[in-house]
Amino acid sequence: MHIVVCVKQVPNTTQVRINPETNTLVRDGVESILNPFDENALEMALQLKEKHPGTKVTVLTMGPPQAAEVLKEAVGRGADAVVLLCDRAFAGSDTWATSYALSTAIRKMEPADLVLFGKQAIDGDTAQVGPGVADWLGIPCVAYARKIEVADGKAVVERNFEDGYEKLDVALPCALTVLKEANVPRMASLRGKMAAKKLVIAPMTAEAVGADPAKLGLNASPTRVVKIFSPPPKTGGVKWQGEEPAVLAQRLADLLRERKLI
C-alpha cells in the first residue's frame, strides 16, 4: 500500500497574542510547527504501515524552504519518503490553487492508495484542501474520519457528523481528512531524528511536477484577501447586574454575535 500524507507547516497560533495597545498581532516567539491535525493523519498512516507490512508512507508539503522542517519531523516519526513542493510560482495560492498543486505532485508519485490530510490547518482553518485535492485526483474523499480499517483493497471508515457518526465502505484509492480523536500521535524516535538531521530535501518545482502555470499561485486563486484587520480588542471584564435576566441574556447573546464568538 502507498499512503500519501499531506502536511503543512503552520505558526503555532495558540502562542499568538494581540498587542492591546496597537491592536496588532504579536508574532514574536511564535514557533513554526507541524499542523497538529496533520499529526493525526501521519499517525494514522504509520499505524496502517505497522499493520500492513510493505506499506510506504510518503509525506508531502507545499511551502517555503523552511517547511522542510516538518518533513524532517515526519521522517523522525517513521515516514519513508518526503516531497517538498517549493516554488515562488505557488506563492499566494488559495485552497483552490493549493489543492491543484498538491494533486500534481501526487500524480507524479507511484499510485497512492490513500491520501490523508488533517481535519484542517490551524492557521487558515478552512478544511477545504483535502476534499479539493481528492477532486483534482478524481477519487472519493471522506471528511472528518476518526477510524479506518483496510482490507482487500477497500477501507471501512468511520466519520463524524454533528450528532453521531457513520460507518462507510470506501473503495481505494481514496482520501480522508482525519480528526484529532483518531489517535495519539507518536513522538519521533532517536534514530528517526538522526536520519532526519542528515536528510537533504531537494525542493520540487512547479515544472518538475508538470503543473500548469495557469493554475498556480495568487493569479490562479479565485479568492482575494482585500483587507486584514484585528478583531475588536478584548475589553476588560464587565459585570452586569440589577437588570432583568432576559435583558442581560439578550445583551450577552448580542455581544457574542457581535464579537463573532459564535
Per CB under 8 A, does 172 bind other proteins?
Answer: no
Residue 126 within binding range of other proteins, rule CB under 8 A: yes
Distance (Å, rounded) from C-alpha 71 to C-alpha 167? Answer: 32
Q: Does 257 bind other proteins (CB under 8 A)?
A: yes
Determine whether 163 is exposed, middle or buried from the number of CB atoms within 10 Å of its CB (0-12, 13-18, 19+).
Answer: exposed
Among 122, 182, 204, 209, binds other proteins (CB under 8 A): 122
What are phi and psi for residue 187, nearest 5 degrees?
Answer: -100, 160
CB of 161 to other proteins, least distance (A): 4
Q: For other proteins, what does the binding mask look like between residues 74 and 103, x meaning CB under 8 A?
A: ------------xxx-xxxxxxx--xx---
Residue 199 as a binder of other proteins (CB under 8 A): the answer is no
Nearest to 9 by CA among 40, 47, 36: 36
DSSP, collapsed to helix, strand or coil, labels residue 26 as: strand
Q: Roughly what angle, to the nearest 10 degrees, separates helices 68-77 and 190-198?
A: 140
For residue 137, with 0-12 CB atoms within 10 Å meaning exposed, 13-18 middle and 19 or more buried, which class applies? buried
Q: Is 160 in the site for other proteins (CB under 8 A)?
A: yes
Q: Should residue 51 be labelled a site residue for other proteins when binding is judged by CB under 8 A?
A: no
214 lies in the binding site for other proteins (CB under 8 A): no
Residue tagged 463524524 (cell numbers): 160
Task: Figure out which of the listed residues 3, 42, 79, 141 binds other proteins, where binding follows CB under 8 A.
Answer: 141
* Interface region with other proteins, contact rule CB under 8 A, candidates 53-61, 110-118, 204-212, 228-236: 228-236
170 touches other proteins by CB under 8 A: yes
Nearer to other proteins, 80 or 123 (CB): 123
- Scanning 37-45, 52-60, 120-128, 205-213 for contacts with other proteins by CB under 8 A, the matching segment is 120-128
* 21/229 with CB nearer other proteins: 229
Q: CA-based Rg of the chain, rounded to a whole angstrom? A: 21
Measured in degrees and rounded to the nearest 5, phi and psi for residue 165 equal -145, 165
135 near other proteins (CB under 8 A): yes
CA distances in angstroms from 221 to 91, 93, 94, 99, 127, listed in the order given: 10, 6, 5, 11, 16
Of 66, 153, 210, 212, the one binding other proteins (CB under 8 A) is 66
190 touches other proteins by CB under 8 A: yes
* List 7, 44, 60, 132, residue binding other proteins (CB under 8 A): 132
Instruction: Based on the shown chain and the rule CB under 8 A, indicate whether residue 228 belongs to the binding site for other proteins.
Output: yes
Among the listed ranges 51-59, 106-114, 184-192, 205-213, the one in contact with other proteins (CB under 8 A) is: 184-192
CA atoms of 78 and 141, how far apart (whole Å): 25
Q: How far is CA 67 from CA 12, 31, 193, 230, 232, in A?
A: 14, 12, 16, 27, 32
Least distance CB 54 / other proteins (angstroms): 19
Beta-bridged to residue 125, according to DSSP, are none
